[in-house]
Amino acid sequence: MAESTSPKKPSGDQPSADRASDQIIRLDSEREQRRANTVIDDNELEAPVALEPSALEAPSPQPQQAAVTVAPLAPVKPRRSLTRPILFALLPVALVVGGYYYVVGGQVMTTDNAYIQAQSLGVSTDVSGTVVEIDVHDNEAVKQGQVLFRLKPASFETALAAAQAQLGTVRNQVLTLQASYQQSLAQIEQAEADIPYYEAAFQRQQDLLKTSTASKASFDSAQHDLVAARQKVSVAKAQAQATLAQLGDDANQPVEKNPFYLQAQSAVDDAQRNLGDSVVKAPFDGIVTNVDALQVGKYLPASQPAFSLVSATDLWIAAEPKETELTYVRPGQTATISVDTYPGAVWHGTVASISPASSSSFPLLPAQNTTGNWVKVVQRIPMRVTIDDPQGKPPLRGGMSVVVGIDTGHARGLPDFVTNLIDRFEQKS
């Protein structure tokens, strides 16, 4: 071995060489420690392999780098995970289950384009008057026949009194006509009773005139008296007939059935109705709203709504599903109703009717699809669903958003391309 040409250092520098060698060994040990820590099994961490430093060269007067040997690491075999095989095994099962539910599903047609509707009206009356009393307040529940408000009754009471007085006058007139008819009959009898006397007197004067015993003047007077008596009978009969016509061709008819009396009675009834309409009552059970729009002292014209009354019992669902969703929907099918306001609560209903036309068919200016810019849009068909079990459930209000699910009883079935393949296979076989 050739000797080194570098000059030798004195023996006093040997501690520095030992410190450098120790530092190199420590750095190599830390590097191997970090490398061992990076080898991680699936479930546990492998312990770092202890390092065995090799024998160092003896210190020489000339500084040399110490050689370090590292023991080789034992190979770590990773544990195989079962997640991937399990997923591959579950994939066909999920496909089969999903396909089954797809084929047997689709019986329920669900739409969220549905809202609760309630019977409502603007409370009004067909008489005009000044409001003197309001018996309800805003959002109060009322019963059918309950008084809502009153109009000033003075003018209606006056009209009723006048109509009743006129009715009494007409009653007296009818009684007078009946008496006049009886008088006319008496006059007819009296005139008919005088005719034989005047006929005999005329015959006597006629015989005397033939023998020239009586004068011509006496004959003419007797003839005039006979004609006058006969005319009295005719006049009395005509008067009796006119009176009988006013009595409805029935002299024995009750006064209450006489046309004049009935006309006067209708005037009384109309005045009584106007007085009754001055007290406005609820036509059905419901809740009044916007009552503050009516104030005491306000003049309310006839037929002008005072405030609104919304029914609390006559409720239904107004839905507008797409035309493509109504393929198997028919009136009479059952439905489940869920209201956005009450999560978890379910109502049951029945499809009452389906509109004969889409919503876009009723506007004043319907869409005309005759231009080249026409774009096909899926139409919506109005549908009405009744609520069968509102009792014992949370209160429903008009305008609430709901989701309606209708059981059509028709499953989705296999896709068309699968059905066509099966048909072709059966035809070939």
Say if residue 56 is in the same domain as residue 113: no
Cα–Cα distance, 233 to 188 (Å, whole number): 5
Q: Which of 341, 331, 323, 321 is nearest to 398 (CA)?
A: 341
Has residue 21 been placed in a domain? no
Say if residue 263 is in the same domain as residue 321: no
The residue out of 249, 273, 297 marking a domain boundary is 273
Angle at 87 between CA 83 and CA 89, to 5 degrees: 120
Say if residue 113 is in the same domain as residue 52: no
Has residue 51 been placed in a domain? yes
The residue out of 219, 243, 273 marking a domain boundary is 273
At residue 147, the pLDDT reads 95
At residue 7, the pLDDT reads 41
Say if residue 115 is in the same domain as residue 179: no
At residue 214, the pLDDT reads 67
At residue 54, the pLDDT reads 44
Has residue 131 been placed in a domain? no
Has residue 90 been placed in a domain? no
Q: Quickly tell me which residue has 């198997």 as its tokens.
A: 328
Sign of CA dihedral 182, 183, 184, 186: positive
Q: Quickly tell me which residue has 């059918």 as its tokens.
A: 144
Q: Is 404 helix (H, G, I), strand (E, B) or coil?
A: strand
Say if residue 340 is in the same domain as residue 422: yes
Say if residue 111 is in the same domain as residue 54: no
Count Cα atoms within 13 angstroms, Cβ side, for 180: 16
Has residue 291 been placed in a domain? no
From first to last of its 429 residues, the chain has per-residue pLDDT tens of 334 344 444 444 444 555 656 666 776 677 766 665 554 444 444 444 444 444 344 444 444 454 545 555 556 556 667 788 888 888 888 888 888 777 777 788 999 999 999 999 999 998 999 999 999 999 999 999 999 999 999 999 999 999 999 999 989 888 888 888 888 788 777 777 778 887 887 777 777 777 767 677 877 777 787 888 788 888 888 888 888 887 877 777 788 888 888 999 999 999 999 999 999 999 999 999 999 999 999 999 998 999 999 998 899 999 999 999 999 999 999 999 999 999 999 999 999 999 999 888 887 777 666 666 777 888 999 999 999 988 889 999 999 999 999 999 888 777 777 778 888 888 877
Say if residue 112 is in the same domain as residue 212: no
Has residue 413 been placed in a domain? yes
Domain, as residue range, for 173 = 155-273
At residue 22, the pLDDT reads 66
**In this structure, are residues 113 and 380 in contact, taking their beta carbons and an 8 Å threshold?**
yes
Say if residue 173 is in the same domain as residue 256: yes
Say if residue 111 is in the same domain as residue 67: no
Has residue 138 been placed in a domain? no
Say if residue 383 is in the same domain as residue 318: yes
Has residue 355 been placed in a domain? yes
Q: Is 385 helix (H, G, I), strand (E, B) or coil?
A: strand
Say if residue 268 is in the same domain as residue 175: yes
Query: What's the domain count of the chain?
Result: 3
Name 2's Cβ contacts closer than 8 Å, sequence gap at least 6.
none
Cα–Cα distance, 205 to 199 (Å, whole number): 10
Q: Which of 11, 24, 1 is nearest to 60 (CA)?
A: 11
The residue out of 53, 76, 99 marking a domain boundary is 76
Cα–Cα distance, 204 to 197 (Å, whole number): 11
At residue 39, the pLDDT reads 46
- Any idea what the CATH number is for the domain that residue 350 is in? 2.40.30.170
